Amino acid sequence: KTMRIEKCYFCSKPVYPGHGMLFVRNDCKQFRLCSSKCRKFFNQKKNPRKTKWTKAFRKSAGKELELDPSFEFEKKRNRPLKYDRELMGTTLQAMQKVKEIKQKRETRHYKQRMSGAKKNQREAELREIKQGIDLIVSPVAVDPTKVAVPSLVKAANKTPKQQGMETAED
């Protein structure tokens, strides 16, 4: 008899044999839970699609692939099969190919999601810079009257007529 790796009902993580908890409801429906964290959320009747760290949330929010033909291979099958060495070898090769295809599709999905994110991030950064420009630019560079040397300030405030009078008095 082989051991089966189940999926957590709440967060969809793998639950290995001897780990996690099995909750059986009165109608004999079984719920595998991977950790006490998932069990607590399950007992509180929390919705996994509204809990940000679950796989269900990520799929519903569009952060992970939702519909993909490769998911058909991951479905649970309860039919017993006779062991056949050739069949097992071809199955393992097919599993490897499916894994590669799935990884390529996931990276393509990620790149597609992130294509507009760089532009939005740049716009947000520019807005933040404009908002806090006084922290970056020196006040002296903007207004020469704020210079610390008083003689330069006086010279900058005087009109050309006043400057001409001073030279005549000296």
Identify the pLDDT of residue 36: 95
Identify the pLDDT of residue 29: 94
Identify the pLDDT of residue 168: 53
pTM over 0.85: no
**Half-sphere exposure for 37 (CA within 13 Å, toward CB):** 9
Residues 4-13: tens digit of each pLDDT: 888 999 998 9
DSSP letters, the chain, are -----EE-TTT--EE-TT-SEEEE-TT--EEEE-SHHHHHHHHTT--GGGSTTSHHHHHHTTSS--S-GGGGGGS---------HHHHHHHHHHHHHHHHHHHHHHHHHHHHHHTTHHHHHHHHHHHHHHHTHHHHS-HHHH-GGG-S-HHHHHHHHS-HHHHHHHHHH-
Residues 45-97: tens digit of each pLDDT: 999 999 999 988 888 887 776 666 666 666 666 677 677 788 888 888 988 98
- Tokens linked to 13: 């993580």
Q: Residue 7 pairs with which residues in a beta bridge? A: 14
